[in-house]
Structure 1
Amino acid sequence: MKYKVDIVRIRENTITLNGWAIGKTPESLAEFTVEDKNRKKIECKYVSTRRDDVSQIYFGKPYDKDFGFDIQFPYERGEDYYLIIHCDGRKARIKYNEELIAKRSSVAHKRMEKIKDLMNMETVHVAMDFWKENGLRALIIKSKHKLQGIDNDYDYSEWYDLTKPSEEELEAERKAEFSWRPLLSVVIPVYQTPEKYLKEMLDSVINQTYSNWELCIADGSPKGKSVEKILRKYAEKDERIKYRVLGENKGISGNTNAAMDLAEGDFIVLADHDDTLTPDAFYQLSKAINKDPENDVIYSDEDKLDMDGGALFEAHFKPDFNIDLLTSTNYICHLFAVRRSLVEQVGQFDHQFDGAQDYDFIFRCTEAARKIYHIPKVLYHWRCHQDSTASNPESKLYAFEAGARAIKAHFDRLGIETESIEKGVDYGKYHTRFVIKEEPLVSVVIPNKDHHLDLDVCVKSLMEKATYKNLEFVVIENNSTEKATFEYYKKMEEAHENFHVVTWEREFNYSAINNFGVQYAKGNYLLFLNNDTEIIEKDCIQEMLGYCQREDVGAVGARLLYQDDTIQHAGVVIGFGGIAGHTFIGLHKSENSYFHRAMCAQDYSAVTAACMMVKKEVFEKAGGFSEELAVAFNDIDLCMKIRAQNKLVVYNPYALLYHYESKSRGLEDTPEKVARFNREIAIFAKKWPDILKNGDPYYNPNLTLRKSNFALRDLKKEKIGEPYKLEVDVEKQGQE
């Protein structure tokens, strides 16, 4: 017998236990009882749950068996209680009392539990599969990151308790006055909802601090299974609640539209029948609506709650509106509110997209909205159970396929031709390939000083591996001293008519050197490339060009790996370390990143020019690289100037290269170089003070700026909403 109690909670006068237990075979199901200190049985509520994750690990595949449990029983402070698990003739007796539960909640205990979690059969099976697929080095890197995670400052539930509104703040919200009090119409389709879950959702609406709302419910449950009795009881107590019993299931879109037909408010707010809202959700929506009269679409952060609603986990802290992330995954989800007049313009849910009907609806709303506003607060708790896409996307494959159709419909409406929309790193993640129009000339601009062998690897990888052939190479010779370098240039120019060398004769200045090289580029697209890079994916150029050809895009970056297959670049966040930094540095290419962000095409404030494609006309309009930034932040500055033209900067993870990093140029290890680096920090900060002060719109203020892994913000060192001050050794940073 194997078992684990994952969660233990005391709520008022009850204890709730969540976990799983298995025997030697899938047919060996456990039985549970609860006893007091005198071994007398206590009446308890027991609900079995599916645990396909446990089944997969121990039996190799999911079984239609309930290996999980939710057990609740009365609790009296100071008394001892025991959970008894029987299975395969074995018995386990686990003691619980207030002191033990408190001890198990301590940081030290949780750390020890995490260590134990890393030493069970589940970990062994997962580790072996990872080793087989990715090799020993990758497993060592992943294990190191797992161990580092043991020392994370907070579990999310603890962090949430520290950051959620206090009772005093909620009371102040109840008394707050707005110049306009919009009527919020909360639209909920109901279908055979368990009474407990439905009541929790209804209560979460009734308990809102903002009172000008109406609740519009359509019950699509089959005859005899309606929840009308509950709805009638609530509606009799609160006239803001109205409902309609449909008598049949019209499908998720039909049921939602029927609820939407009841709405008379200024904004439509979407919610599911078994989820819950935070008490300040409507207050925050009204605040956002009043902030700008052109805010037509509003969305918030969200998290998940377990089946009994007692534990919160897996918070999704989102960026401000990010259209390319949205076409990679429906990151917006909940809480979602849209002006009713906009719904009348774009239409209600479309049943052709059932399974991803909200995805399609979000696309149509955001396409037509004047402004889209993101509230960086968790306002929605998404209930997670085993047959929910919140927990197991693969359980609703039809939803994934409907999502792909919604993405294609979005691009079709915009007149953007797609070649294919495929499964990304996981279900619910999408990889879009765009049609390349007319195969334009791409000018590859590469500064070089000696290191001709590295340059040869870089150029030959494009010439021989890349499937896109309409390339020219503009190599900018920068004060080389080795005879072999010039011999290499001559040989390549003689052998390849698309290989050209131009000579820079002044001191090193990355910006000036690249601007000089662009003068000789004939292509309408510029690919700035370091000489210490090598392509991995043969379709690298098409992946970048597909995005760069779009009218709304100015620049595209790639996913760059160190030689050991860990991430060197997956986008840039302004504010990391005080100024700017790469995301997910050191994560192995096969490890899961925060909500798979490293493997999602998305918009960022900047990408690195170690591999960056830019429209030539956009580059020229931006004035090229700023030459006062000779070494540091010049690529970030260029991206900021591109965004100032209302063009997007896109990170595409499917454009994959190695970056062997800084072989060509020396370290920042002299007083002169450190002083220059310091000056360039000051120049960048002076040019772009707003984003450093207000935060990167493509990053969430609840996440840390001290690390690149999107961890929770350390509340002891970083206040939410404030920039992270540059508290590093400048000399050391200069050397790095």
Structure 2
Amino acid sequence: MTFFSDLAKTLNYAGRNGLRETMVAASERLRSRAGAHYVYRAPSDADLDLQRTAYRARREAGEELPLISFLVPVYEPNLHYLEAMLRSCLDNTYQNFEIVVADASPEDAGEKLAESFSTDKISWHRLPKNLGISGNTNAAAEFARGDYVALLDYDDLITQDALFEITSVISEFSPEIIYTDEDKCDEKAEKFFEPNHKPGFNVDYFFANNYICHLLVMKRELFLALKLRSTYDGAQDYDLMLRAPWSEIRHVPKVLYHWRTHQGSTAGNPGSKDYAYEAGLLALKEHFRSCRIDADVIHSRHRGFYDVTYQPDIFTARKEVGVVGGKLVDRNHRIVGGMMDEAGRVAFAGMHEMESGPMHRADTMQDVAAVDVRCMQIRDELRPVYQAVFNASYETHIMKAGEDELRIMSLEFCRQARNMGYLIVWDPRMSRRME
């Protein structure tokens, strides 16, 4: 399957982006695979035993433990995948959960399989008709009793420590929303690959791509207030998150979800669900419309990613954005500057300017700690700060300092802008050639 899946992806990419970009992307993918050493490391038996012991101690002490409700919509499921998903939940070290299945299938094979587990943790509900993924998930939520709901596809898997890690965050912070890292697995769930080690909540990267994806956990009351909308089936979770409050989101930086790849899945063949990317595009456009933000949204060259252009410019459209920066490229088309972390380390240094990097982050707008003054735009309110830091007006752009000094001043300017509450946005469509 891998060869034909890769071939389909390559042909689709070439049709959208042309031969030159396809050759660069193919070369990058080959190098990435040659150097790929990802191994999913499951928690050790000793670690799992410690988690079980901790769970029992909390329960015996009378601690109020959050109940998690997995919402699982099914329609004519593959029984092998369904059984594996149920086992992955039931094997968790944290046991205060329920699996709420909304089954719109005409046959009862899935329900009979669930009954064979002989557990009261599986709550199976037959629906009179198929309402689609959003409608079926909403139906499951109506049956749920949990403090939080977790959105789970029946053909995927969670890790044994997933709920322990998630509820640890809930106990400490009680956030509205939690999301975790994930990877992909083959049809037999024997090989794990393409880990998605996600950033903390990053609004501009989120506008470009629903990187939150799996595993998404949300307070049940919030989910019931928002619900999924069938108009956006295929990207219903993206639309949900675009409407959700973003002030209380927590990220668990650990792979707790395995996204199974098979011929019909988006994970296995992104081209198989183009409708999902169209739905995501519509959801993002609707978000900007509802927020009265004038923005043009189109598909980027990467499936499932979007390019946003604000009108008349980003500073007018979004008052929270203070600085926008791009990438510095040398004569060999290699990135030498642009996005930086708080220590001044340049992201994607040495990468070809047309390469996209892990999760396409080298080719996607996102919020960052700092950008380089040599490829920077600022809003007018920050001009006095600019003058003070660089000892030059923004209009003149006269930079007589050396590269290291410019980088230090760029970091300081961006730090002050962040402290004033502004976002620093990196836009890879902006670039400057360094001779």
Alignment match of 2:421 (pick from 646, 649, 652): 646
- Deviation, 1:394, is 2.1
Counting only pairs closer than 5 Å after superposition, residues 577-726 of structure 1 correspond to structure 2 as 579-620=343-384, 624-625=388-389, 630-660=405-435
Residues 387 and 145 (structure 1), Cα distance of their counterparts in 2 relative to 1, 3 Å cut: closer
Mapped pair 1:202 → 2:79: no
Mapped pair 1:279 → 2:155: no
Mapped pair 1:561 → 2:338: no
Residues 623 and 380 (structure 1), Cα distance of their counterparts in 2 relative to 1, 3 Å cut: farther
TM-score, normalising length from structure 1? 0.53
| Match in the other structure for 1:218 | 102
Residues 632 and 557 (structure 1), Cα distance of their counterparts in 2 relative to 1, 3 Å cut: closer
Secondary structure at 1:581 match in 2: coil
Which runs of 5 or more residues in structure 1 are unaligned? Answer: 1-17, 21-50, 63-125, 437-544, 661-736
Residues 238 and 132 (structure 1), Cα distance of their counterparts in 2 relative to 1, 3 Å cut: closer
Mapped pair 1:404 → 2:281: yes
The letter of the residue matching 2:235 is A
Counting only pairs closer than 5 Å after superposition, residues 216-255 of structure 1 correspond to structure 2 as 216-221=100-105, 223-224=106-107, 226-234=109-117, 237-255=118-136
CA offset digits 1:626-667 (Å, max 9, x no partner): 77995442111221221122221111122233233xxxxxxx
Mapped pair 1:416 → 2:293: yes
Separation (CA, whole Å) in 1 of partners of 2:387 and 2:231: 47
Separation (CA, whole Å) in 2 of partners of 1:327 and 1:207: 35
- Deviation, 1:356, is 0.7
Counting only pairs closer than 5 Å after superposition, residues 152-551 of structure 1 correspond to structure 2 as 152=35, 155-157=37-39, 160-161=40-41, 164-176=42-54, 177=57, 179-221=63-105, 223-224=106-107, 226-234=109-117, 237-293=118-174, 295-345=175-225, 347-365=226-244, 368-418=245-295, 420-436=296-312, 545-547=313-315, 549-551=317-319
Residues 380 and 563 (structure 1), Cα distance of their counterparts in 2 relative to 1, 3 Å cut: same
CA offset digits 1:84-120 (Å, max 9, x no partner): xxxxxxxxxxxxxxxxxxxxxxxxxxxxxxxxxxxxx
Separation (CA, whole Å) in 2 of partners of 1:613 and 1:401: 31
Residues 658 and 621 (structure 1), Cα distance of their counterparts in 2 relative to 1, 3 Å cut: closer
Residues 561 and 391 (structure 1), Cα distance of their counterparts in 2 relative to 1, 3 Å cut: farther
Secondary structure at 2:389 match in 1: coil
Query: Does the aligned pair in 2 maintain the 1:569–1:582 contact within 8 Å?
Result: yes
Instruction: Provide the aligned length of Structure 1 versus Structure 2.
Output: 416
- Deviation, 1:296, is 0.9
| Match in the other structure for 1:487 | none
The letter of the residue matching 2:135 is G
Separation (CA, whole Å) in 1 of partners of 2:271 and 2:381: 44
Separation (CA, whole Å) in 2 of partners of 1:142 and 1:228: 44
Query: Does the aligned pair in 2 maintain the 1:570–1:598 contact within 8 Å?
Result: no
- Deviation, 1:547, is 5.0
| Match in the other structure for 1:74 | none
| Match in the other structure for 1:683 | none
Residues 244 and 624 (structure 1), Cα distance of their counterparts in 2 relative to 1, 3 Å cut: farther
- Deviation, 1:267, is 0.7
Separation (CA, whole Å) in 1 of partners of 2:90 and 2:387: 55
The letter of the residue matching 1:613 is Q
Query: Does the aligned pair in 1 maintain the 2:185–2:193 contact within 8 Å?
Result: yes
Alignment match of 2:20 (pick from 133, 136, 140): 133
Secondary structure at 2:208 match in 1: coil
Separation (CA, whole Å) in 2 of partners of 1:429 and 1:310: 28
- Deviation, 1:254, is 0.8
The letter of the residue matching 1:647 is Y
Separation (CA, whole Å) in 1 of partners of 2:271 and 2:176: 33
| Match in the other structure for 1:53 | 6
Residues 147 and 133 (structure 1), Cα distance of their counterparts in 2 relative to 1, 3 Å cut: closer
Separation (CA, whole Å) in 2 of partners of 1:570 and 1:205: 43
The letter of the residue matching 1:546 is I
Residues 656 and 340 (structure 1), Cα distance of their counterparts in 2 relative to 1, 3 Å cut: same
Separation (CA, whole Å) in 2 of partners of 1:170 and 1:352: 41
Separation (CA, whole Å) in 2 of partners of 1:391 and 1:553: 36
Instruction: Calculate percent identity across the aligned residue pairs.
Output: 33
CA offset digits 1:118-172 (Å, max 9, x no partner): xxxxxxxx9xxx995269xx86x9869966974x4x6112xx33xx421111111
CA offset digits 1:606-644 (Å, max 9, x no partner): 111111111232353688427799544211122122112
Separation (CA, whole Å) in 2 of partners of 1:339 and 1:155: 36
- Structure whose alpha-carbon radius of gyration is higher: 1
The letter of the residue matching 2:113 is I
Residues 652 and 312 (structure 1), Cα distance of their counterparts in 2 relative to 1, 3 Å cut: same
Separation (CA, whole Å) in 2 of partners of 1:369 and 1:616: 27
Query: Does the aligned pair in 2 maintain the 1:281–1:379 contact within 8 Å?
Result: yes
- Deviation, 1:289, is 0.8
Separation (CA, whole Å) in 1 of partners of 2:266 and 2:32: 29
The worse-fitting range, judged by mean Cα deviation, of 600-609 and 309-318 is: 600-609
Separation (CA, whole Å) in 2 of partners of 1:381 and 1:269: 14
Separation (CA, whole Å) in 1 of partners of 2:283 and 2:124: 29
| Match in the other structure for 2:395 | none
- Deviation, 1:415, is 2.4
Which runs of 5 or more residues in structure 2 are unaligned? Answer: 392-400
Answer 1 or 2: which has greater helix percent: 2
Separation (CA, whole Å) in 2 of partners of 1:553 and 1:340: 32
The letter of the residue matching 1:421 is V
Residues 646 and 218 (structure 1), Cα distance of their counterparts in 2 relative to 1, 3 Å cut: same
CA offset digits 1:21-58 (Å, max 9, x no partner): xxxxxxxxxxxxxxxxxxxxxxxxxxxxxx3435788x
Separation (CA, whole Å) in 2 of partners of 1:334 and 1:599: 22
Query: Does the aligned pair in 1 maintain the 2:355–2:363 contact within 8 Å?
Result: no
Secondary structure at 2:227 match in 1: coil
Separation (CA, whole Å) in 1 of partners of 2:187 and 2:32: 29
Separation (CA, whole Å) in 1 of partners of 2:49 and 2:137: 32
- Deviation, 1:321, is 0.2
Separation (CA, whole Å) in 1 of partners of 2:50 and 2:301: 44
Separation (CA, whole Å) in 2 of partners of 1:296 and 1:342: 8
Query: Does the aligned pair in 2 maintain the 1:303–1:382 contact within 8 Å?
Result: yes
- Deviation, 1:571, is 1.8
Query: Does the aligned pair in 2 maintain the 1:187–1:217 contact within 8 Å?
Result: yes
The letter of the residue matching 1:361 is L
Residues 269 and 584 (structure 1), Cα distance of their counterparts in 2 relative to 1, 3 Å cut: same
The letter of the residue matching 2:100 is C
C-alpha RMSD of the superposition: 2.9
- Deviation, 1:413, is 2.8
Query: Does the aligned pair in 2 maintain the 1:548–1:556 contact within 8 Å?
Result: no
TM-score, normalising length from structure 2? 0.87
Query: Does the aligned pair in 2 maintain the 1:142–1:591 contact within 8 Å?
Result: no
